[in-house]
Amino acid sequence: ITFAQNPATLAALRAGLRERVARSPLFDAQRFAKNLYQAFLSMWQQAQSLASDVLNDSCRQAADFSPEAHSAELVNLFNQGQYAECEALARQLTQRAPNYGFGWNVLGVLYKQLGRIEEALVAMEQAAVLLPEDAEVLNNYGATLQNLHRSQAAEPYLRRAIALKPDYVEAYNNLAATLHELDRYSEAEACLHQAIALRPSYPEAWYNLGNTLKQQGRLEEAEQSLLQALALRPNWPSAYTMLLFCLNYGQHQDARTRLSHARQYGDLLTRMAERPYKDWRCDAVPKRLRVGLASPDLRTHPVGYFLESVLADLGHTGIELVAYPTFPHEDALTQRLKAHFVGWHSLVGLSDEEAA
């Protein structure tokens, strides 16, 4: 009301107001912009500090993580047959610590035990890269290459394992298997004699020596090696099978001796079948008779070629065939054989009870 009644006073007030506002800190644009910048800069620096703390915590946790602390647990899980738990732990450790060579080696051995041979090779190759001076790792990798019939690639790893550990019996045995596959039988034989000299109680070396001698036509010597293998491991079907093969083609044993060994083999298989299998999943009166063929020879092998010659005609009968291969690898003949079966189920890595 006062200013309304005194226009001159109001005019004088208005005249100086803009000047006073311009001089007020509140309207100091440069100062305001500078302070705002400092506020934003301070916020950014605090954020950076927080992120750095988080990163440092993560780095400290990573630095504190030691996969070696779990090595004993890995081995225990594997030895106790807890394969799923062992795989989960090994995969976790190798993901968190990709340079953990022992973890890769355990993972490879586990996959091989389970018949997952290709996965085993990948893991073992990684272990061999990380642990090039570890004889066990090189032996595992070389043996797996040999299992995949890559014997030329396997040989240098196995020889390196022996160079690192000259008394490594298993490496001599695996090198012998590699040389055998390369048809270098005399070299394989020398490796096996070395393995036996180091460990006379090693049945695998006696068995492989028998196989190498058999391939050279030295059947009587092969029989003696196989008998020694069976003396060390009496319940060994593979050794009995090869022994009977040698006896069948040899000329120095009479029929009574051959029959005795064949009966021993039959008794062994009977004992190994703990109980008769009765849970048959088929119709009581089937339209077609279902027959299962369990064999390691559904591939390039005399048995495989024989089967190929009869399976086509057998398919026109009242028989329905299901295959149960016990050998981990396939080839072109395997693919041709598959066409004659209604089912194909690998038994690799399974126990007799699991297969049943």
Residue 257, CA distances (Å) to 161, 222, 252, 347 in order:
42, 16, 10, 33
The reply to whether 298 and 333 lie within a common domain is yes
pLDDT tops 70 at residue 65: no
Q: For position 167, what pLDDT does the model report? A: 97
Stronger pLDDT, 142 or 75, i.e. the higher one: 142
Evaluate whether residue 147 is within a structural domain: no
What would the pLDDT profile of 305-330 be if each residue is shown by its tens digit? Answer: 888 888 877 766 777 889 999 887 78
Residues 6 or more apart from 228 whose CB is under 8 A from it?
Answer: 203, 206
The reply to whether 71 and 123 lie within a common domain is yes
pLDDT tops 60 at residue 56: no
Q: What percent of the chain has pLDDT over 90?
A: 49
Stretch 215-231: mean pLDDT, rounded?
96
What would the pLDDT profile of 1-39 be if each residue is shown by its tens digit? Answer: 566 667 777 677 666 666 665 666 655 656 656 666 677
Evaluate whether residue 39 is within a structural domain: yes
Q: For position 71, what pLDDT does the model report? A: 83
pLDDT tops 90 at residue 215: yes
Domain final residue, candidates 19, 45, 64: 64
CA 293 to chain centre: 27
The three-state DSSP-derived secondary structure of 283-340 is CCCCCCEEEEEEECCCCCCHHHHHHHHHHHHHCCCCEEEEEEECCCCCCHHHHHHHCC
Confidence of residue 62 (pLDDT cuts 50, 70, 90): very low
The reply to whether 58 and 102 lie within a common domain is no
For the chain, what is the domain count? 3
- CA–CA separation, 161 and 91 (whole Å): 26
Q: For position 51, what pLDDT does the model report? A: 61
95-99, 276-280, 301-305: range with lowest mean pLDDT: 276-280
Longest dimension (CA), the chain: 146
Average pLDDT, the chain: 85
Q: For position 58, what pLDDT does the model report? A: 47
Domain final residue, candidates 17, 43, 64: 64
Domain range holding 295?
Answer: 289-355
The neighbouring-strand residues paired with 292 are 322
Stronger pLDDT, 54 or 167, i.e. the higher one: 167
